Copies of this chain bind each other. A is one copy, B any other.
């Protein structure tokens, strides 16, 4: 940890530099700090800007980002330790967007929509309106950085946990069971989002219906499975013996 005069530089878990005034000055946010925060934003936005179907974060170079941001390459280091640090910040912000979306979906459900349909449709709207944000999460989930993978996994876990709570509050089948079911649903919805990216609007509509059917199966199956009636004749192929 660097310590110079009055100020102390630390790094948060995204590897971004944070200025912490040791004397806990109440006002904070002087001209300098404000401007720094501003160009930091410019860098983040520039990175998001360059993401696309053909461009992954891993394929972005530091120089490209600074070029887009209108900043000298060397100035990058005043804001992030390296590209990985910037990437983790992007993932964090994407996760935030995702959670806001969840809240929005919950509101829609509470004001009287079908839980499954509303969730799927809201999610697909998110994907359509934030393709590159979603692509980032999707790609870094299986990317080359363990930290990235963990960060995305954490965001998805948040997502899933909230759904599990909701399911459990309605079905009362127990937290652990609801987690397993919610996890499956989240994976299916995420995957549908991924597939949607390469689809036309019409195709996406079909995909939504298919995903809804899949979630309904899980929902119905959860009820059955919980009642342990699997071996009492309402089963599919699981117990089939050739």
Contacts and interface: CB of A to CB of B under 8 A. Distances in A.
B225 A213 contact: yes
From DSSP, what is the main secondary structure of chain A's interface residues? Answer: helix
Contact of A138 (B110, B142, B229): B142
Given A222-B236, A236-B222, A217 B181 contact: yes
A146 interface: yes
B216 A225 contact: yes
A171 interface: yes
A224 interface: yes
Nearest to A209: B180
A96 interface: no
Interface in A72-117: 109-110, 112, 114-116
Given A112-B242, A188-B188, A217-B224, 18 more contacts: A54-B145, A56-B144, A59-B144, A110-B242, A114-B239, A153-B198, A171-B236, A180-B210, A180-B217, A181-B214, A184-B188, A184-B214, A187-B191, A216-B225, A219-B238, A220-B230, A220-B234, A223-B235
Interface of A: 53-56, 58-59, 109-110, 112, 114-116, 135, 138-139, 141-146, 149-150, 153, 166-167, 170-171, 180-181, 183-184, 187-188, 191, 194-195, 198, 210, 213-225, 229-230, 234-242
